[in-house]
Amino acid sequence: QVQLVESGGGLVQAGGSLRLSCAASGRTFSSRAMGWFRQAPGKEREFVAWISWSGSSIDYADSAKGRFTISRDNAKNLMYLQMSSLKPDDTAVYYCAARQVLAVTRLWELYDYWGQGTQVTVSS
């Protein structure tokens, strides 16, 4: 079993930056491919970014490309999402997710473990 806990969310003005963290515990060796998703009020869960076990492969949603940076530090069991040039449309609950297998994917239903979410609110 793997436990995931997000932190770093909060209230920020448009154009500002935030760094989200995801701490993994338990059987962390079972946390292979990882990703970030978000869900805004009244909208479906949305893919943001994923990263492979080694960090050598990365993918971003079009909405995140050029503004967000995903990274991980396996020695510390941490994954990060650095967000800059934030927009009001980025307002959502952000979730950390992990798979037991190495294969990466944008599909939320294929992830095995989820954090509780952290709220990001961007004011205009």
Phi/psi of residue 57, nearest 5 degrees: -120, 135
Give 37-96 pLDDT, tens digit per residue: 999 999 999 999 999 999 999 999 999 999 999 999 999 999 999 999 999 999 999 999
pLDDT-based confidence at 114, cuts 50/70/90?
Answer: very high
CA 96 from chain center: how many Å?
A: 5
Using the predicted structure, report yes or no on whether residue 101 has a pLDDT greater than 80. Answer: yes
Contact 88, 122 (CB under 8 A): yes
Using the predicted structure, report yes or no on whether residue 29 has a pLDDT greater than 90. Answer: no
Residue 100: strand pairing partners: none
pLDDT at 120: 98
pLDDT-based confidence at 30, cuts 50/70/90?
Answer: confident
Express as a percent the part of the chain with pLDDT over 90. 95
Structure tokens at 3: 């436990």
pLDDT at 28: 80
Structure tokens at 25: 């515990």
Nearest CA-CA partner of 112 in 22, 58, 51, 32: 32
List, as one string, the DSSP characters of 36-75. EEEE-TTS--EEEEEE-TTS--EEE-TTTTTTEEEEEEGG
Give 11-27 pLDDT, tens digit per residue: 999 999 999 999 999 98
Mean predicted confidence (pLDDT) in 87-115? 97
